[in-house]
Structure 1
Amino acid sequence: MTEQVLRFVDGAAYEQNMGIWSRLAGEVFLDWLAPPLGLRWIDIGCGNGAFTELLIARCAPAEVQGIDPSEGQLDYARRRPGLHTAKLLQGDAMAIPFADGRFDAAVMALVLVFVPDPRKGIEEMVRVLGRGGIAATYMWDMLGGGFPLDPILAEMRAIGLSPTRPPRMEASQIEMLRQLWTDAGLEKVETREIAVQRTFANFDEFWSVNLKAPSIGPAVAAMSAPDLDKLREGVRARVPTDSSGRITRTARANAVRGHLPK
């Protein structure tokens, strides 16, 4: 498969496709994290604000700053009613535009595999944390069959297409996450798996929602009608329906947390 850059520029499309999944996993993630109220947070790779909004609703933060490289995503996030207290700006996970020790908690939601150098990204998370601060992430298990888009991507490969995938999928593995956090000097490092389910009314909804993903939509748009029909029917065979025609999919994410020593 080719390793090309995936660009997330459409916040509304992301919301329908991955934003819902992100919040499903984010609810479990925050239950597990159980952070104190009133912390100063940075959401690195905040995207269209799906997780950021959940964070504000659940954790009563004293402050939330969000950074993301995509102005298109940030524009959508800034229009979310639940984010009126957050400050969102364009920024790079490997060069976070804040001073050392600025935050009490740093988080990445479904981001790490897109960071060109995950180790550098974690170093930056740690740099902007104060003593005793918490660093945490959750990421779909990209190599273990946990990604929500796997049925479509698998069928694309089966018919000879090469869908674009994130450049650092190994950073989604639970042992790699534990190693990254330990190597960054964090302590009390813990990991867990998060499994969530989402139900689609029928195959047409499942298909149309997932075509909004940048790893799928552009490739499908370039296909001939016969090839598109072949792909669609192949995917249909991979996603069984219940007696009402509904499709329920399970996705799995790996999560890690750790604290900067006091």
Structure 2
Amino acid sequence: MDEQRYDVWGSGAAYDRYMGRWSRAVARAFTAWLGRPDGLRWLDVGCGTGVLSAVVRERCRPRLVVGCDRSEGFVRAAARTSVVADAMALPVRDGAFDVAVSGLTLNFLPDPAAAVAGMARAVRPGGAQVAAYVWDYAEGMGLLRLFWDTAAELDPAAAELDEGIRFPGCRPQPLHDLWTAAGLADVVVRAIEVPVVLADFADLWGPFLAGQGPAPGYVTALPPAARDELREALRTAAPTAPDGTIPLSARAWAVRGRTE
């Protein structure tokens, strides 16, 4: 399969229904972990719909927040001070920011090392922070593990799109190595886990029909009969509580380091 064909991200509303609900909770835990003081200049690389930027504005009292993303649709959703830009060729001057962050983006970039090096270049020397987080696709994303394990049982070729296989960099050691290779000091990696409780099966299945991201892209490309078969297999496999809710969890790996 052509994996990039399914890595479609363009609609802010569709993304928000699919992943945005829990990415906000991760963003809040992430910014609390960074512990930055008020009045700083923040750069949000791969800002998407602006979830992380909004949390920074809400909780960190920044002097400035600038977000950048390659998707015009996402930038329109993020609004405010977000611009269309390539994460691997940041259009900012050296040392212009105090903090550079990236949320749920690095694994989708063709050259994550170049992006991290660019983030390090964009912040001032002498203690500025560079940090990011990515989903733990291999083990910690309950919704995606449920989806891909079920899909692969019906269609072994679906495993080629499984982010847990495709993105081996979304683990502690590769993230630590990226940060140290960029010349950053005091590198720390930690897990951030948030609860995911879906209201019912429709709340689980509906976002997969919007075509945003690898799993929804796979679903919308299926013939109707195969799509129906997958839907019913997921309904059977979902860990449904007596009240109809589906409790899962979402884990991200977060990494931070500082300039010297």
TM-score, normalised relative to structure 2: 0.91
- Give structure 1 regions of 4+ aligned residues with deviation exceeding 4 angstroms: 165-168
Q: Give 1:168 deviation, angstroms.
A: 6.2
1:149/1:248 Cα in 2 relative to 1: closer, same or farther (>3 Å)?
same
Residue segments in structure 1 that go unaligned for 5+ positions in a row: 79-83
Q: Give 1:156 deviation, angstroms.
A: 1.9
Instruction: Number of aligned residue pairs: give it.
Output: 254
Give the corresponding residue for 2:179.
Answer: 181
Give the corresponding residue for 1:249.
Answer: 248
Q: Which region of structure 1 is more displaced relative to structure 2, 154-163 or 56-65?
A: 154-163
| 1:43 has 2:44 as partner | yes
Return the letter of the residue paired with 1:201.
A
User: Take 2:188 and 2:28, find their aligned partners in 1: how far apart are those partners?
Assistant: 18
Give the corresponding residue for 2:92.
Answer: 98
1:11/1:123 Cα in 2 relative to 1: closer, same or farther (>3 Å)?
same
Aligned partners of 1:43 and 1:107 also within 8 Å: yes
Give the corresponding residue for 2:131.
Answer: 136
Higher-helix-fraction structure: 2
1:111/1:168 Cα in 2 relative to 1: closer, same or farther (>3 Å)?
farther
Residue segments in structure 2 that go unaligned for 5+ positions in a row: none
User: Take 2:8 and 2:188, find their aligned partners in 1: how far apart are those partners?
Assistant: 31
Return the letter of the residue paired with 1:72.
G
User: Take 1:180 and 1:218, find their aligned partners in 2: how far apart are those partners?
Assistant: 29
Q: Give 1:158 deviation, angstroms.
A: 1.9
Give the corresponding residue for 1:7.
Answer: 8
Among all aligned residue pairs of Structure 1 and Structure 2, give the percentage whose two residues are the same amino acid: 37
TM-score, normalised relative to structure 1: 0.91
The two structures, once aligned, show a CA RMSD in angstroms of: 1.8
Give the corresponding residue for 1:169.
Answer: 167
1:120/1:171 Cα in 2 relative to 1: closer, same or farther (>3 Å)?
same
Aligned partners of 2:209 and 2:220 also within 8 Å: no
Q: Give 1:221 deviation, angstroms.
A: 2.5
Which one of the candidate residues 138, 141, 148 is aligned to 1:146? 141
Which one of the candidate residues 114, 125, 143 is aligned to 2:119? 125
1:235/1:221 Cα in 2 relative to 1: closer, same or farther (>3 Å)?
same
Q: Which region of structure 1 is more displaced relative to structure 2, 97-106 or 11-20?
A: 11-20
Q: Give 1:208 deviation, angstroms.
A: 0.5
Aligned partners of 1:114 and 1:168 also within 8 Å: no
Give the corresponding residue for 1:81.
Answer: none
